[in-house]
């Protein structure tokens, strides 16, 4: 039998490990199985350890980490950053699975909760939301590599489609929602952690106080969120916050409440039963709209890469040909390079600056090098369009069509904010983007053909000036040389189409291309009539605005799914149930 002295020596807690770390630990979270520990250090690194202190990996997001939580199944970690970015990392290797910019300020707290039951239909059968995209399209394209970009820096891992399936697995996975709260009082909700569906602000919530009187409502002022937590059934959200209580409509007056402190720590209980009551519809919409954010990133990155590569090629061209203008000025000739080339083409004369430029400055080697640079850039642009940009735009249009079908079932989907008119407009913009892609490819092909013809003519001229045989050179078209000198020598329609301009303007294109684009617009049944006054980049920007624009987000950075799904909690939480 244990003596009193032995009993007094019993220690209720026993130290298992005492390991030094290079930096102070600011936060730590056990996984659901309690066998993995994720820690954040003061130098903004994430360390994952087993229970026996074996380190699995260490990563550094490059920004200050302000919050951390585990996915309910323990296969992913959500990390909140001080710039409002929410990143999801694979537990196996720490690789970035997804990066979302759902906040504009530091994410203070995270909570990832899973429904206790699988998503089922009205008959009790497990709901399997079929994604029909694979029936009509190959696997979704990945974003092209930015020159000098390290893998993962664009916010997505290498196998984007696989990462999405791992994160959502939405045909069989239990329904779960990730809550994130920032220092400005905003709380965002995302299905599977990747599909934003709603956003509320604690400053907009009004409520009565128990034991005070239901006729007076109050709200928070100068508040900050400390913790958010969803209930297991997703029907209630608890928000721990600190701030001042004020009477609605009388925020400047001090509030004195019997038994309650006007300033201090408060606990809000918000009704989120719509997540449980309408989870089938939310699950279906999340499936149909899945990966659209990835696909818009593919389009955005494609345009950026294309613009950079074409600009580099044009820089090489203008850098070499700018010396002709200098030679013309040095010889005291009142003319332009285009006029000098036209005189040479017409056989009237070969001026000294043109002769010197072609024979001594440009040379045959220089013409071939510039021709190769522009031809290579053009082929790379065509490859990016065919392999990345166009497939992404096609899948976006298809997924929007699926959403349009759901939006027409108003009795079931209108209640979660899936508005038919909004989806119709977004679908048309997706179609117009495809029309602009076709236009761009035709303009690019025409420009490359005219550059090649111009360089063939220059090679012929250099051979003649140097009295060398030129029978093996490719033929050229004199009419195309004239068109090139008049419209392309100092203009760049490809660059215009790839850049966003605030002012609308017509880009001169051939009649055949205009007729083809007009036929596509009529075939698609689009009501747009100003498509020729917009560039490809401008069309994509308008598609983004139509998709993403929300009342609570600025036009320069908006989100697609939040535009499709209006804030779900606006009606249910106009009057929160109570405050403890």
Residue range 110-125, pLDDT digits in tens: 999 988 766 665 666 6
Going by C-beta distance under 8 Å and a sequence separation of 6 or more, which residues neighbour residue 142?
Answer: 156, 158, 160, 298, 388
Q: What would the two tokens of residue 550 be?
A: 């929300």
Main-chain dihedrals φ then ψ at residue 85, nearest 5 degrees = -85, 140
Nearest Cα neighbor of 461 from 340, 369, 374, 326 is 340
Q: Does residue 186 have a pLDDT over 50?
A: yes
What pLDDT is attached to residue 516? 83
Cβ neighbourhood burial of 188 (10 Å; 0-12, 13-18, 19+): buried
C-alpha 255/C-alpha 522 separation (Å) is 63
Of the candidates 361, 317, 359, 353, which has an alpha carbon nearest to the alpha carbon of residue 335?
A: 353
Residue 569 exposed, middle or buried by CB count within 10 Å (0-12, 13-18, 19+): buried
Please state which CATH class domain 25-286 belongs to: mainly beta
Q: What is the DSSP string of 90-136?
A: ETTT--EEEEE---SS-EEEEEEEE-SS--B-TTSPBP----THHHH
Q: Which two tokens stand for residue 479?
A: 């009419």
Helices and strands (DSSP H and E) totals, the chain: 18, 17
Q: Is the pLDDT of residue 326 over 80?
A: yes
Is a pLDDT exceeding 80 seen at residue 559? no
Note the pLDDT of residue 133.
80
Confidence of residue 556 (pLDDT cuts 50, 70, 90): very low
Between 452 and 149, the more confident residue is 452
Instruction: Give the domain ranges of the chain.
Output: 25-286, 291-499+501-534
Coil vs helix vs strand at 58: strand
Rounded to an integer, what distance in angstroms lies between the CA atom of residue 561 and that of residue 547?
Answer: 7
CA distances from 478 to 181, 253, 274, 510 (A): 66, 83, 70, 18
Q: Is the pLDDT of residue 63 over 80?
A: yes
β partners of residue 257: 260
Q: How far apart are CA 242 and CA 253, in angstroms?
A: 18
Burial 394-433 (b: 16+ CB within 10 A, else e): bbbbbbbebbbebbeeeeebeebbbbbebbebbbbbbbbb
Cα(569)–Cα(412) distance, rounded to whole angstroms?
A: 17
Count, residues in the chain: 580
- Mean pLDDT highest for which of 105-114, 208-217, 541-550? 105-114
Q: Could you tell me which residues come within 8 angstroms of residue 333 by beta carbon, excluding any fewer than 6 positions away? A: 340, 351, 353
Please calculate the CA angle 556-560-564 and round it to the nearest 5 degrees. 125
Average pLDDT over residues 31-49: 90
Give the burial class of 173: count Cβ atoms within 10 A of its Cβ; 0-12 exposed, 13-18 middle, 19 or more buried: middle
Reported as a pLDDT band with limits 50, 70 and 90, residue 482 is: very high
Query: CA of 356: how far to CAs of 194, 316, 323, 361, 548, in Å?
Result: 62, 20, 10, 7, 56
**Highest averaged pLDDT of the listed ranges 243-247, 415-419, 449-453:** 449-453
Predicted pLDDT of residue 147:
59
Highest-confidence range of 50-64, 438-452, 525-539, by mean pLDDT? 438-452
Number of neighbouring beta carbons within 10 Å of residue 314? 16
Sheet architecture: strand order including 236-247: 207-209, 213-230, 236-247, 263-271, 578-579
Residue matched to tokens 């220092």? 183
pLDDT for 444 equals 94
Task: For 211-355, list the strands marked E by DSSP.
Answer: 213-230, 236-247, 263-271
Question: Rounded to whole angstroms, how far apart are CA atoms 11 and 455?
Answer: 87
Long-range pairs of 10-18 with CB within 8 A, sequence gap ≥ 24: 17/52, 17/53
Q: What share of the chain is helix, strand, coil (3-state, %, to 5)?
A: 45, 20, 35
> Alpha-carbon distance 570 to 580, whole Å?
21
The pLDDT assigned to 161 comes to 45
Give dist(CA 334, CA 342) in Å, integer: 15
- Give the pairing type, strands 213-230 and 55-59: unpaired
Are 207 and 573 contacting, i.e. CB atoms less than 8 angstroms apart?
no
Residue 143 to residues 156, 201, 392, 427, Cα–Cα distance (Å)? 9, 34, 9, 22
User: Mean pLDDT of all residues in the chain?
Assistant: 79
pTM attached to this predicted model? 0.74
pLDDT band at 564 (very low <50, low <70, confident <90, very high): very low
Exposure class string for 58-97: b at 16+ Cβ within 10 A, else e: ebebeeebbbbbbbbbebbbbbbbbebbbbbbbbeebbbb
What's residue 150's pLDDT? 37
The predicted pLDDT at position 577 comes to 38
DSSP code for 145? P
CA-to-CA dists, residue 248 to 162, 184, 225, 510, angstroms: 49, 19, 20, 63
> How far, in Å, CA of 417 to CA of 413, rounded?
7
Q: What is the pLDDT of residue 252?
A: 45
Q: 340 or 503: which carries more pLDDT confidence?
A: 340
**Residue 554: band (very low, low, confident or very high) from pLDDT cuts 50, 70, 90:** very low
């Amino acid at each position: 039998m244990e003596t009193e002295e032995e009993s007094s020596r019993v220690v209720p807690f026993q130290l298992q490990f005492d390991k030094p770390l290079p930096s102070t630990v600011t936060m730590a979270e056990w996984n659901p199985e309690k066998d993995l520990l994720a820690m954040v250090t003061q130098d903004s690194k994430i360390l994952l350890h087993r229970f026996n202190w074996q380190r699995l990996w260490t990563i550094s997001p490059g920004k200050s980490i302000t919050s951390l939580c585990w996915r309910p199944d323990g296969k992913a970690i959500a990390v909140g950053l001080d710039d409002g970015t929410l990143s999801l990392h694979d537990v196996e290797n720490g690789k970035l699975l997804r990066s979302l910019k759902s906040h504009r300020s530091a994410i203070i707290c995270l909570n990832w909760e899973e429904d206790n039951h699988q998503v089922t239909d009205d008959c009790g059968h497990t709901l399997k939301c079929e994604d029909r995209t694979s029936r009509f399209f190959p696997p979704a394209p990945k974003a092209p590599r930015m020159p000098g970009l390290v893998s993962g820096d664009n916010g997505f891992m290498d196998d984007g489609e696989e990462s999405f399936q791992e994160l959502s697995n939405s045909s069989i996975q239990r329904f779960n929602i990730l809550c994130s709260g920032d220092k400005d009082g905003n709380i965002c909700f995302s299905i599977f952690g990747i599909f934003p569906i709603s956003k509320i602000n604690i400053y907009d919530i009004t409520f009565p106080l128990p034991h005070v009187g239901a006729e007076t409502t109050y709200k928070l002022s100068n508040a900050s969120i400390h913790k958010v937590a969803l209930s297991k059934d997703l029907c209630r959200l608890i928000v721990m916050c600190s701030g001042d209580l004020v009477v609605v409509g009388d925020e400047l007056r001090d509030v004195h409440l019997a038994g309650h402190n006007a300033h201090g720590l408060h606990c809000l209980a918000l009704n989120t039963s719509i997540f449980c009551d309408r989870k089938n519809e939310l699950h279906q919409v999340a499936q149909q709209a899945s990966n659209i954010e990835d696909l818009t990133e593919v389009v955005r990155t494609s345009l950026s890469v294309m613009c950079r590569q074409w600009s580099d090629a044009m820089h090489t061209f203008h850098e070499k040909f700018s010396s002709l203008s200098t030679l013309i000025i040095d010889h005291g000739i009142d003319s332009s390079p285009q006029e000098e080339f036209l005189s040479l083409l017409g056989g009237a004369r070969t001026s000294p600056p043109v002769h010197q430029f072609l024979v001594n400055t440009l040379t045959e080697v220089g013409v071939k090098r510039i021709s190769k640079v522009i031809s290579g850039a053009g082929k790379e642009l065509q490859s990016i369009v065919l392999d990345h940009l166009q497939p992404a735009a096609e899948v976006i249009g298809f997924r929007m069509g699926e959403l349009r079908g759901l939006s027409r079932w108003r009795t079931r989907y209108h209640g979660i904010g899936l508005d038919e008119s909004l989806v119709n407009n977004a679908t048309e913009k997706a179609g117009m983007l495809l029309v602009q892609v076709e236009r761009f490819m035709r303009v690019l092909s025409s420009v490359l053909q005219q550059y090649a013809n111009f360089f063939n003519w220059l090679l012929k001229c250099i051979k003649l000036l140097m009295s060398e045989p030129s029978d093996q050179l490719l033929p050229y078209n004199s009419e195309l040389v004239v068109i090139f000198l008049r419209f392309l020598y100092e203009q760049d329609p490809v660059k215009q189409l790839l850049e966003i301009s605030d002012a609308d303007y017509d880009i001169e294109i051939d009649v055949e291309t205009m007729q083809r684009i007009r036929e596509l617009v009529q075939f698609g049944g689009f009501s747009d009539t100003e498509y020729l006054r917009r560039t490809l980049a401008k069309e994509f920007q308008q598609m983004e605005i139509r998709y993403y624009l929300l009342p609570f987000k600025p036009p320069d950075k908006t989100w697609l799914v939040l535009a499709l799904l209006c804030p779900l909690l606006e009606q249910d939480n106009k009057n929160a149930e109570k405050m403890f």
